[in-house]
Structure 1
């Protein structure tokens, strides 16, 4: 009963986190969950450093001990889009997404019920399909317009929040399993896509006119599960694995004419394996491989050139392909109070050149991420963790969708670009 009361106290905090956007780097997944993992390139599956196991590997929680962790990143994505060589010169131009700083919170709680059993709660977010472009100096033949020939500003806002109660159990002294119930909430809004809402002078793009753009924020709920294994094979070698099937979410009814499947937007299947090695008492080396299957969600994975109308089951999506992510990290315990970290995260770019037009809205093109971090022991049971990440500029260029709509060469080519960095702090307390 006492543990239920403690978990219930975190409910208002989870509600507050739902009002904040989260952003991402491996497609629209973060490069890591938890500031300690973020300092090590996101590597986490074979580590038990904090109470973020519900987002990483639930089986690790029984090794983390009783603790509470809370922190936030200041995240800065810099995105722009450009069109050049268009047969209609008024379609040429460049715009830059407006908002450049965002707060990305995290929180985790874990309680040891016995030496071999723990329960906890992790709250985390996904996102990254978040852009806000000004109208610019474009003209699509009927007066001023944004880059995709709609009215006013152009962009989308996607936020996904997951509240993950977890349980972990040691099957044997060196092996554990764990499960997290994933309770999901997501929020979405699209602006400036009027040309795709069966507008005069354009082809009939959607099967549900009036449910494509400028409908305000819509909300969706769903549930899923994450399963994990954690094993200490030797005193120096640890392995871990986690699997989360596709998380089914309620449809975005207000955007039934935009997303494939009448507004369906599930959270994709993802899984991974990891290893951690301690070659000397002060050193830990870790590596993870993660797979994110974006193609299993039609609204994300369907090609943007699909011939069915927007909103249909086989209608256009963002064309994102499945990606592999490799995460490498190292931690050095410099002394009893200070631990230093560094890492590298390399993920595939999910966006093909043929899908560049739709992805002006969601330029998730990042591949390489360089990270560093530290933990400073404030007292015996309290610590401060910091992490920094920088991802160099990456771009994708491809033919404009308007070449197919207005005629060969009419839309020229388009380029989307992105670079980003983040800095964060977290407080952890053992009890």
Structure 2
């Protein structure tokens, strides 16, 4: 098993921070004294340069925080920790004073099959050159008064990695490994207000930092295919960043039923200049807008049921939503309005449950279903990004001790296949590309209130 090694410095920093936080909590130290603030700053800086992730709902992660992850990401109307602001900033008003640290281990299995190709590309291709990834996250929230609260959440938004040691494009003139590496890191400072005890409103800025690299795409790196040859492949990692906005509301209808709604704006991150000949709009790769609604119901003193609906607007981002077919209509890669990966918008439905087994142990579980972002006629380019997963199932447990809350969850993204349908253009020898992906996710967390 290969591991994404660049993440180890981040794990070390977060582990040290967890120990420091525990010591300070149990010695009644001030939660944000100078040394503590410096440690948090170090975590944020490390995350900015080290986070990596893989696809779940499209390329967005299905949940942020160990508690939400153990319910396949449910959380719009059910905030459970300081990382809730990633889903709904109104939740910052409802979680109290707390610190939450999490680690996610991803193990994706992605592959492609080419058949009926006249150029000789037929074969089965394994994209698991890097097979495991570790992603940290951290959240902090604090009440200013009975009405006002603030917080910060730092987490991976999502991403995609493929590494084909046997290059699927070799028959067309490619050499070396083929694949892409996309990772997105979000820093979300939030402010929440409770106009009444039953309602909360939240607003958050979203700073996004993203990195991208592509390798082994030489057949696309020429003047016949790209508007900017030399800016398509094998240029190392490039980065871009930008700002967005999150808004949210949570309202308690009665003592047992709560509703929520949230919206995240599109984040214009600037361009990947080193890949201006690959992505539409001269290297554009903005982060799409998303929005959703949720409900939670206290079915009993021990059981809470919750559900979310979410929509992610991938089609609004040219490099993601534009069809590859534009390439054969006089629009080269990298051009304004040029070809992309042909993704559709994705709607996700999530269901989750929380059961307090006793005063010490709480159990969680959930399932989710997403629409398919990739159609059969767009599978050829998506060999690089086979984000075809639709269904998830999660289970998790929380154990409360004198040293804080300890959490673990397991999520399985069930194997999904998309068969090509007129997917490989005649200029590349025709035939079909079929995509397959599944994924296992283990998440660990530690939390404490103060």
TM-score class normalised by the smaller sequence: over 0.9
Name the residue aligned to 1:412: 431
Shift of 1:87: 2.5
Residue 303 (structure 1) aligned with residue 323 (structure 2): yes
Q: Out of 199, 204, 211, which is 1:180 matched to?
A: 204
Q: Is the 8 Å Cα contact of residues 14 and 123 (structure 1) preserved in structure 2?
A: yes
**Cα distance, 1:188 vs structure 2:** 0.4
CA distance in 2, matches of 1:160, 1:247: 12
Measured against aligned partners, the alpha-carbon deviations of 1:49-95 in whole angstroms (never above 9, x if no partner) come to 1001221111111110000000111111001111112224x211111
2:397 pairs with 1:397: no
Instruction: Give the match for residue 42 of structure 2.
Output: 12
Which has the larger helix fraction? 2
Any unmatched runs of 5+ in structure 2?
1-30
Q: Does 2:242 match 1:222?
A: yes
Deviation of 1:222 (Å): 0.4
Query: 2:111 aligned to 72, 75, 80, which one?
Result: 80
State whether structure 2 residue 337 is matched by structure 1 residue 314.
yes
* Change in 2 beyond 3 A, CA 1:79/1:148: farther
User: 1:328 deviation in Å?
Assistant: 0.3
Task: Quote the residue 2:391 is aligned against.
Answer: 368
CA distance in 1, matches of 2:172, 2:212: 19
CA contact (8 A) 1:400 1:413 kept: yes
Alignment-derived partner of residue 24 in structure 1: 55
- Quote the Cα distance in structure 2 between the aligned partners of 1:147 and 1:281: 62
From the superposition, tell whether residues 17 and 256 of structure 1 become closer, same or farther in structure 2 (CA, over 3 Å). Answer: same
Q: How does 1:330-369 map to 2 (within 5 A)?
A: 330-369=353-392
Unaligned runs of 5+ in 1: 139-144
Is the partner of 2:425 in helix, strand or coil?
helix
Q: Give secondary structure in 2 for the equivalent of 1:54.
A: helix
Task: Report deviation, 1:212.
Answer: 0.5
Contact 1:51-1:64 at 8 Å conserved across structures: yes
**Offset at residue 403 of structure 1 (A):** 3.4
Q: Is the 8 A contact 1:117 1:169 kept in 2?
A: yes
Q: Distance in 2 between matches of 1:249 and 1:345?
A: 29
Shift of 1:287: 0.2
Moved over 4 A (4+): 2-9, 399-402
Say if 1:255 and 1:197 are closer, same or farther in 2 by CA, change over 3 A: same
5 Å matches for 1:142-157?
146=170, 149-157=173-181
Describe the SS at the equivalent of 2:90.
helix
TM (norm. structure 2) is 0.89
In the alignment, does 2:408 pair up with 1:386?
yes
Match for residue 85 of structure 2 among 54, 59, 72: 54
Contact 1:3 1:111 in 2 (8 A): no
Q: Note the alpha carbon deviations across 1:244-300, whole angstroms, 9 max, x for none.
A: 111110111111100000001100000000000001010000000000000111000
Secondary structure of the residue aligned to 1:53 is helix
Secondary structure (helix, strand or coil) at the match of 2:83 reads: coil
Calculate the aligned-residue CA RMSD, in Å. Answer: 1.8
The 1:256/1:376 distance shift into structure 2, 3 A limit, reads same
CA distance in 2 between counterparts of 1:400 and 1:192 reads 23
* TM-score using structure 1 length: 0.93
Give the Cα–Cα distance (whole angstroms) in 1 for the partners of residues 38 and 190 of structure 2: 14
Q: CA contact under 8 A between 1:128 and 1:364: conserved in structure 2? A: no
* Partner Cα separation in structure 2 for residue 273 and residue 27 of structure 1: 19
Q: Partners in 2 of 1:176 and 1:20 — Cα distance?
A: 31
Match of 1:142 in 2: none
Identify which of 260, 265, 274 aligns with 2:280.
260
Q: More strand by proportion, 1 or 2?
A: 1
2:294 is matched with: 274
Provide the residue aligned with 2:445 in structure 1: 426
Counterpart secondary structure, 1:17: helix
In the alignment, structure 1 residue 196 sits paired with structure 2 residue 220? yes
User: Does residue 185 of structure 2 align to residue 161 of structure 1?
Assistant: yes
Question: Which residue is equivalent to 1:232?
Answer: 252
Which of the residues 272, 290, 311 maps onto 1:291? 311
Measured after TM superposition, the shift of residue 424 of structure 1 is 1.3
Q: Is the 1:230–1:238 Cα contact (8 Å) retained in structure 2? A: yes
Q: Is the 8 A contact 2:311 2:345 kept in 1?
A: yes
The answer as to whether partners of 1:41 and 1:327 remain within 8 angstroms in 2 is: yes
